Amino acid sequence: MTDVKAAPLLGTSAFRLGVVGAVVTERFAAEIAAHDLKPKHVGVLALLGSAPATSQLDLARVMGVAPSLIVRIADHLERLGAVERVRDPVDRRRQALRLTAHGSALLAECTRASREMEDELLAGLSAPDRAAFRTALAQVATNLGLPS
């Protein structure tokens, strides 16, 4: 039985987004685990797919995480053969990350998995409702200062 006092909370977008986000993250993590990847690994792959040869510090800023976390993620992705470190041609003291062919293939596989999940999640929505949902979600991400 639902607690009457909790009902207003359950109806808020913030709470619902949190619950849905947790479920989707868990499902996506399970889907990509066979590739020895976690969602943050895929986030780095996605950013590198759109901005080749990006510095670790720039990735940390865009993702809003500590640079030390990006180093750990990059180390893992490098061990998988998904990224390589290259010297920044402008500043030889800096290293940039670049997707390898294997990294591009992993990104494509993760994109496929994400699209399948999206089809399942949005199955009850019409095409216009799906478009409106994507637009609204992009605006929420922008409001939070997240890359979209």
| Least reliable range by pLDDT among 34-48, 87-101, 102-116, 125-139 | 87-101
- What pLDDT, in 10s, does the model give residues 123-143? 999 999 999 999 999 999 899
> Could you tell me what percent of the chain has a pLDDT over 70?
94
Q: pTM here?
A: 0.84
| Helices and strands counted in the chain (H then E) | 7, 3
Rounded Cα–Cα distance for residues 133 and 34 (Å) = 30
Q: Work out the pLDDT band at 29, boundaries 50, 70, 90.
A: very high
Tokens of 116: 């399948």
The answer on pLDDT for 3 being more than 80 is: no
Tokens of 98: 């670049």
Q: What is the DSSP letter of 36?
A: T
- Tell me which residue has tokens 């720039």: 58
Question: Residue 11: its pLDDT value, please?
Answer: 84
Single-letter residue type at 23: V
Q: Work out the pLDDT band at 52, boundaries 50, 70, 90.
A: confident
User: Where on the phi/psi map is residue 125: left (φ > 0), alpha (ψ -120 to 50), or beta?
Assistant: beta
